């Protein structure tokens, strides 16, 4: 990280002038203080310095995660070479910008971080603001979990806007990423909910309780099945529609052509949906 490299010479200079102050002349103290203050400033501004550096020289995904995404993300496979590079860079920056926290396991494995990041980046790929920085804390549980908002319901995913938190069960998140036509994609679903709160001016087509029969025609998933998979009632039909838009684009365009165009316009996405 750039901030660490910048910090080293300032810390060394401060130590050198502390030595000179002790051994040579007390007036060297002011140099020691100056370098110490500069070191503290670099340390405090480390995240901003690193982010500035990463934006100009985005890190590349490591080979294993790159292979994983190339193998399992149809959206990524359908991008041009330049778009694939932008997708990978956005994934890496998303993982750098957000805090991943494990609950019930020691740490969040790299593939789970990658699945969460790929879901977010796929959703926001056509948008300038892709980080969803109102939701900087990604909490991963190994299995369905209760939460303060739903203490008696073990569920697979949730967002909590007040604390900027998105929560996932690793089991359901991974299954829905690897087999999205078999298991409802909770990653796209929760990030769609987060996006609507992050950018409330985006205009989405109207979906409500009357839309479930058509959404079922698109995906084959009933409302009850989705509620059972997520583990909560009051499922958001707009976010469900967004998930189906990415997973079943061809069927979506046949069943809901106007809504398809509306979502494509709102999310500014076209390439990557072919042969979905």
pLDDT for the residue 44: 63
With a cut of 50, which residues of the chain have pLDDT below it?
Answer: 2-3, 46, 51, 275-276
Q: pLDDT digits over 114-135, tens only?
A: 999 999 999 999 998 888 999 9
User: Which residue stretches of the chain are H helix?
Assistant: 2-23, 29-44, 46-56, 63-72, 74-77, 81-97, 110-124, 170-178, 186-198, 212-219, 223-230, 237-247, 249-255, 257-267
pLDDT for the residue 20: 63
pLDDT for the residue 276: 45
Task: Please state the separation of Cα 82 from the chain's center in Å.
Answer: 21
Q: Could you give the dihedral angle defined by the CA atoms of residues 15, 17, 22 and 27, in that order, rounded to the nearest 10 degrees? A: -150
pLDDT for the residue 62: 87
pLDDT for the residue 3: 44
pLDDT for the residue 177: 97
pLDDT for the residue 21: 74
pLDDT for the residue 60: 80
């Amino acid at each position: 990280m750039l901030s660490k490299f910048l910090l080293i010479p300032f810390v060394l200079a401060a130590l050198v002038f502390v030595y000179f102050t002790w051994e040579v002349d007390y007036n060297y103290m002011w140099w020691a203080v100056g370098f110490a203050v500069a070191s503290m400033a670099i340390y405090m501004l480390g995240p901003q310095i690193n982010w500035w550096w990463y934006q100009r020289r985005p890190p590349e995904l490591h080979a294993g995660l790159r292979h994983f995404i190339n193998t399992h993300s149809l959206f990524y496979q359908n991008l041009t070479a330049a778009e694939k590079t932008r997708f990978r860079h956005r994934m890496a920056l998303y993982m750098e910008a957000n805090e991943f926290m494990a609950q019930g396991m020691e740490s969040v494995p790299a593939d789970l971080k990658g699945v969460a990041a790929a879901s977010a980046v796929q959703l926001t790929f056509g948008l300038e603001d892709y980080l969803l920085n109102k939701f900087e804390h990604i909490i991963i549980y190994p299995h369905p979990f209760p939460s303060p908002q739903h203490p008696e319901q073990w569920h697979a995913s949730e967002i909590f806007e007040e604390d900027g938190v998105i929560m996932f069960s690793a089991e359901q998140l991974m299954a829905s990423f690897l087999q999205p036509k078999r298991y409802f994609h909770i990653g796209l679903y929760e990030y769609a909910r987060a996006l609507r709160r992050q950018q409330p001016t985006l205009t989405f087509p109207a979906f409500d309780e009357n839309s479930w029969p058509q959404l079922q025609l698109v995906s084959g998933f009933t409302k009850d099945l989705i509620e059972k998979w997520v583990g909560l009632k009051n499922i958001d039909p707009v976010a469900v529609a967004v998930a189906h838009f990415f997973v079943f684009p061809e069927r979506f365009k046949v069943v809901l052509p106007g809504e398809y165009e509306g979502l494509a316009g709102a999310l500014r996405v076209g390439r990557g949906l072919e042969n979905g």
